[in-house]
Amino acid sequence: MTITVGDRLPEAQLSLATPEGPIPVKSSDYFKDKTVALFAVPGAFTPTCSAKHLPSFVEKADELKAKGVDQIAATSVNDGFVMAEWGKQAGSAEIDMLADGNADFAEALGLTMDASGFGMGKRSQRYSMLVEDGVVKQLNVEAPGAYEVSGAETLLGQL
């Protein structure tokens, strides 16, 4: 079942990428007592993810925070080391990189896709969401192959 607005995020293990290496974090702990702009990409370093999706949140970070967002986070079915390097190369110090290496979080949300045709296996769908204290307040899921509704601009318009 796919998560919807009003649902509480499911419990899943993620890895927070840090300069010292990945740190395990439970989704319930990460999203507790704060407003988070979360976006998911099918893969770090992939074309649309690197050229459009992540940069939209880097560019709009100050505006999102001015509208009440406490933290911005990116997630992908990649390991914590890949997520850390992707964030570093993108200049995204304002964005927490949450690795979902086994797709546990994406599966629990009901937002996986099969990218086997591209040699990538199970991946997260592209989406953005606004989460307040673990509850989904906005959800913007892209159609396969699209990048139209999940950028930072959409979340800004919803705040």
| Active-site residue set | 49
Question: Is the separation of the CB atoms in 84 and 90 below 8 Å?
Answer: no
143 CB-near residues (< 8 Å, 6+ apart): none
d(CA 108, CA 153): 26
Q: Which of 119, 114, 30, 44 is nearest to 77 (CA)?
A: 44
Residue type, 99: A
